[in-house]
Amino acid sequence: MKNALLGTTALLLALASPAPSFAQQKTITVGAYGGSFEQTMRKEIIPAFEAKHGVKVEYVAGNSTDTLAKLQAQKGNQQIDAIIVDDGPAYQAVALGFCADLVPADVYKDVYEVMKFKSNKAIGIGVVGTGFMYNKKVFEENKWPAPASWNELADPKYRKKLVIPPLNNTYGLHALVMVARMKGGGEKSIDPGFKAFKDEIGPNVLAYEPSPAKMTELFQSGQAVVAIWGSGRAKALADTGFPAEFVYPKEGGVVLGIAACPVAGSKNDKEAQEFVQFLVTPEAQVVLAKGAGAGPVNMNVKLSPEEQKGVPYGDQVKQLTTIDWDVVNPAREEWNKRWTREIER
């Protein structure tokens, strides 16, 4: 009887609404970040998209390299329809043929040119900056000034209190490149960065932690007091009431573009294309800014002073430097192996 009633209810709903019934709904799978970004997606972005397009979204959480690895493992039989990853892995995904051409859409005309991929196979959906997150309360109690330079990663007062994501995470990669630059090297001469991490910075590192949840735990437990992290992640932690403060080093923070692409070979290309388009609409952009700390890429989006807090916006974006992904991506696999061998032994 119960099943019959449920069936009747579903039929009535289907007849009453022009939207597809649950049984007829298409389902797309999206691979994207975990942590606070996932919460924002699940609570606000995905429900809004599902309601607008009558499409169900399955969310597979993982960092950018995890998502890229899934695409490689499923090559020829993709189970993921759209991805959201850091800009570096996005360029890799495009180069490896995992991203489909973007279908023309009016909303893309409103995206800043700097956030568009020349290949037209991916699009920037947000901007965050890599810099220092620190426990303001602990710093004030110790009368420490806020961290101000990439060179301070080697400061002895941070011994076993510093957390940096590993090299297969974009925040960790940014740290290595910027330290290399401070030591006279850079993307094309990375050795000074490895040497500094091995000899000077390594002793200060409590953990090379990729998980946003674990990073948060390390701060909340008092084990970590300073970290290299993203402005969006720091904002999410601060929004919980924790005394997390975020600053860009005087030499410059690093821009981290958040990019999305529909996956080539997807059986749900139309719906995947619609999902990517939805991410750059003003309504989604405001949510991503407020919930995930992602600076807007749609030039029509205006944020109030309150909404701008912790978000790269306007002049703040000009403070950020960029990474040469054309140099980094071909070397990244070898750097990862070297990092595992020399730094995270």
Instruction: Pull the structure tokens for residue 156.
Output: 């002895």
| CATH topology match: 11-127+257-312 vs 128-255+322-342 | yes
Q: Which CATH superfamily is domain 128-255+322-342 in?
A: Periplasmic binding protein-like II (3.40.190.10)
Residue 88 to residue 67: CA distance in whole angstroms = 13
Which CATH number does 11-127+257-312 carry? 3.40.190.10
Strand 244-247 to 123-135 pairing: antiparallel
pLDDT of residue 5: 40
pLDDT of residue 7: 44
pLDDT of residue 309: 82
Instruction: Pull the structure tokens for residue 124.
Output: 């920037």
Residue 236 to residue 223: CA distance in whole angstroms = 19
> 256 Cβ partners below 8 Å, 6+ apart?
86, 87, 127, 128, 129, 130, 170, 171, 174, 230
**Beta bridge partner(s), residue 55:** 26
Contact assessment for residue 190 and residue 201, using Cβ atoms and an 8 Å cutoff: no
* DSSP string for residues in 84-139: EEEHHHHHHHHHTT-BPPPPP-GGGGGB-GGGB-TTSS-EEEEEEEEEEEEEHHHH
Mean pLDDT by runs of 10 across the 345 residues of the chain is: 41 41 77 93 98 97 94 94 96 96 97 91 95 97 97 97 95 97 97 98 96 94 97 90 95 93 97 98 96 92 88 78 91 96 90
pLDDT of residue 77: 92
Residue 43 to residue 259: CA distance in whole angstroms = 20
Domain boundaries along the sequence of the chain = 11-127+257-312, 128-255+322-342
pLDDT of residue 20: 45
pLDDT of residue 319: 73
* DSSP string for residues in 157-221: GGTTTEE---TTSHHHHHHHHHHHHHTT-BTTB-HHHHHHIIIIIGGGEEE----HHHHHHHHHT
Virtual CA dihedral for 100, 106, 110, 113, nearest 10 degrees?
40
What predicted TM-score, i.e. pTM, was given to this entire model?
0.78
| Residue 297 backbone dihedrals phi, psi, to 5 degrees | -105, -15
Instruction: Pull the structure tokens for residue 229.
Output: 């992290």
- Within 10 Å of residue 57's Cβ, how many Cβ atoms? 21
